[in-house]
Amino acid sequence: MILRRKDKQINDRKLIEKILDTALVCRIAMCKDNVPYLVTMNYAYTDNCLFLHSAQKGQKIDILKSNPRVCFEIDHGKKLLPSKIPCENTMQFISLIGTGSVIFLNDEDEKSKVLSLLLKKYTHMDQYEFSVHQLRKVLTFKICIDSITGKQSVQKDTLDRI
């Protein structure tokens, strides 16, 4: 993706990786029959893929099964920078936008790995055993990233602020 404001573009792969590792949610945009749909989800990142979990059924799953192509957005560190001049307020932000394809992970070992990645990210638990019941009721999938670009409003010491 090409950004109009090159001065705001994030080109540092280490920074992109750090944002992917530390941000808490991603938004996934999908489309079916020319009707867009957007959801916010928890995720884990590794090996150029986002890993996610969901209920087995629902609108999101129906759409992804019919069209696995998605766009995703991740942001980090939003903060309003107010001005005394009304139209000069601005926002400090760091964000990523990317595209990719969804692959469903149905094997119990794959599901266990995804859930372990998520638990490690959000609870810092390294090891956990999942019951067959837990694994059967959850659906897991990954988004294999095709492209990703970053944008930031403040470039000084960005890597240190994350």
**Low-confidence stretches of the chain (pLDDT beneath 50):** none
What's the pLDDT at 4?
A: 62
Pick from 24, 31, 23: which is nearest to 70 by CA? 31
Spatial distance between the Cα atoms of 25 and 45, rounded to a whole number of angstroms = 11
Q: What is the pTM of this model?
A: 0.86
Domain 6-153, CATH: 2.30.110.10
Domain locations in the chain? 6-153
How many other C-beta atoms are found inside a 10 Å radius of the C-beta of residue 159?
Answer: 11
| H or E element in which residue 44 lies | strand 44-46
What's the pLDDT at 116?
A: 94
For the chain, give the mean pLDDT: 87
